[in-house]
Amino acid sequence: MHRIGSLMLAALLVAGGAQAQDNYPTQTVKFVLPSAPGSTTDILTRLTADGLSRKWGKPTVVENIAGGSMNIGAGQVARAAPDGYTLFVAPPAPLALAHLVNKINYNPLDWVPITLLAKIANVLSVRNTLPVNTLQELIAYGKANPGKLSYATQGANSTAHLTGAYLEAQTGIKMVAIAYRGAQPALTDILSGNVDMFFDTLATSVPLHRAGKLKILAVADLQRAKAAPELPTFTEAGVPGFRSITWFGLVAPPGTPAALAQRINRDAVEMLRSPEVAERLQSLSLEAGATSPAETAKFFADETALWGKVIKEAGIEPQ
């Protein structure tokens, strides 16, 4: 009799949990990102929050928590209640790379993956006044002036930082990394001529390149970008196989129930595949992800392995 009662209680708890997920959300959902306003991450987060708010019929808010090489915002979300009402949108660093190069107070392996929102190739953008016009000229300039070239990053574990280190390892040049609180301040200093180069996304640098405000030397992908087919790849420009993409994941705090993550995934994927959102992503040169939680987890693991190898080859020490 006691066993039957326990089974009935367990069934009621499961049913209650399922019902709670079916009713989700019943209140405002907060999307946290670890960078300042104006970046591709910021634009994508607001697009995601708005799209899901419309789908859910519930309000959403976006909170920018920049600083600490993106780890301040990540750490706050990692300690948030695993109830689906605080979600995290971020580029690779705090989702798959931070533990490789930073001493942090959270474990990226503990995130509960929901979906890959989008991905985009990085480009090598340089200030207009830098006396180079091709990647080979940049490499020659770097070798002739060791330690003189500077490149912007969003922090010690950002894609821009690791890609700069990757370029150093592949070409033998030595550069100085300068950290900023997000992509927008970095771009501002590129335009002002205060820093030499920045591995930025297609979305923000291509319009500036076409407006003559900066120069793009190469696309860090294995094929030319549809959004800018006139730009050569790194392979075409003389650095074979060089690849660096920025991607943006949606995750929940550690301990979030898998069923709830799946529930949010279903809505997020439908939102990403809607004609309105698909058109907006295309206008930003972003390729939609729309992956399942399992596919997202595998993608994170593959990126961790790829950049872990780069970090080892470049001799980057944890900070």
pLDDT digits (tens, 9 = 90+) for 71-99: 899 999 999 999 999 999 998 889 988 77
Residue 226 lies in a domain: no
Indicate which CATH number applies to the domain containing 295. Answer: 3.40.190.150
Angstrom CA distances, 83 to 23, 177, 254, 256, 295, stand at 13, 39, 10, 6, 22
Residue 111 lies in a domain: yes
Q: Do 62 and 139 belong together in one domain?
A: no
Residue 50 lies in a domain: yes
pLDDT of residue 309 exceeding 90, the answer is: no
Indicate which CATH number applies to the domain containing 214. Answer: 3.40.190.10
Q: Do 215 and 137 belong together in one domain?
A: yes
Q: Do 84 and 168 belong together in one domain?
A: no
pTM value?
A: 0.77
Q: Do 104 and 127 belong together in one domain?
A: no
pLDDT digits (tens, 9 = 90+) for 115-151: 999 999 999 999 999 999 999 999 999 999 999 999 9
pLDDT digits (tens, 9 = 90+) for 23-33: 899 999 999 99
Residue 129 lies in a domain: yes
Domain that holds residue 144: 121-219
Residue 79 lies in a domain: yes
Dihedral class, residue 14 (left if φ above 0, else alpha if ψ from -120 to 50, else beta): alpha
- Choose the weakest-confidence range: 13-17, 149-153, 168-172, 266-270: 13-17
Q: Cis omega before residue 25 (within 30°)?
A: yes
Q: Do 294 and 279 belong together in one domain?
A: yes
Q: Do 112 and 133 belong together in one domain?
A: no
267: which residues sit within 8 A by CB, 6+ positions away? Answer: 52, 55, 56
Q: Do 215 and 294 belong together in one domain?
A: no
pLDDT value for 11: 43
- The Cα 100–Cα 91 span in angstroms is 15
Q: Do 215 and 125 belong together in one domain?
A: yes
Helix (H), strand (E), coil (C) string for the chain? CHHHHHHHHHHHHHHHHHHHHHHCCCCCEEEEECCCCCCHHHHHHHHHHHHHHHHHCCCEEEEECCCHHHHHHHHHHHCCCCCCCEEEEECHHHHHHHHHHCCCCCCHHHCEEEEEEEEEEEEEEEECCCCCCCHHHHHHHHHHCCCCCEEEECCCCCHHHHHHHHHHHHHCCCCEEEECCCHHHHHHHHHHCCCCEEEEEHHHHHHHHHCCCEEEEEECCCCCCCCCCCCCECCCCCCCCCCCEEEEEEEECCCCCHHHHHHHHHHHHHHHHCHHHHHHHHHCCCEECCCCHHHHHHHHHHHHHHHHHHHHHHCCCCC
- The C-alpha angle with vertex 212 and arms to 208 and 215, in degrees rounded to 5, equals 75
Q: Do 302 and 252 belong together in one domain?
A: yes
pLDDT value for 27: 97
Long-range contacts of 278-285 (CB under 8 A, 24+ apart): 280/47, 281/47, 281/118, 284/40, 284/43, 284/44, 284/120, 284/203, 285/120, 285/201, 285/202, 285/203, 285/206, 285/225, 285/226, 285/227, 285/228
Q: Which two tokens stand for residue 265?
A: 């995934």
- The Cα 120–Cα 285 span in angstroms is 7
Cα 72 from chain centre:
15
Q: Do 176 and 39 belong together in one domain?
A: no
Q: Final residue of a domain: which of 179, 199, 219?
A: 219
Residue 168 lies in a domain: yes
pLDDT digits (tens, 9 = 90+) for 189-236: 999 999 999 999 888 899 999 999 999 999 999 999 988 999 999 999
Angstrom CA distances, 11 to 8, 83, 107, stand at 5, 20, 33
Q: Do 112 and 173 belong together in one domain?
A: no
Q: Do 297 and 273 belong together in one domain?
A: yes
pLDDT of residue 8 exceeding 80, the answer is: no
Query: What is the number of structural domains in the chain?
Result: 2
Q: Which two tokens stand for residue 244?
A: 């660096």
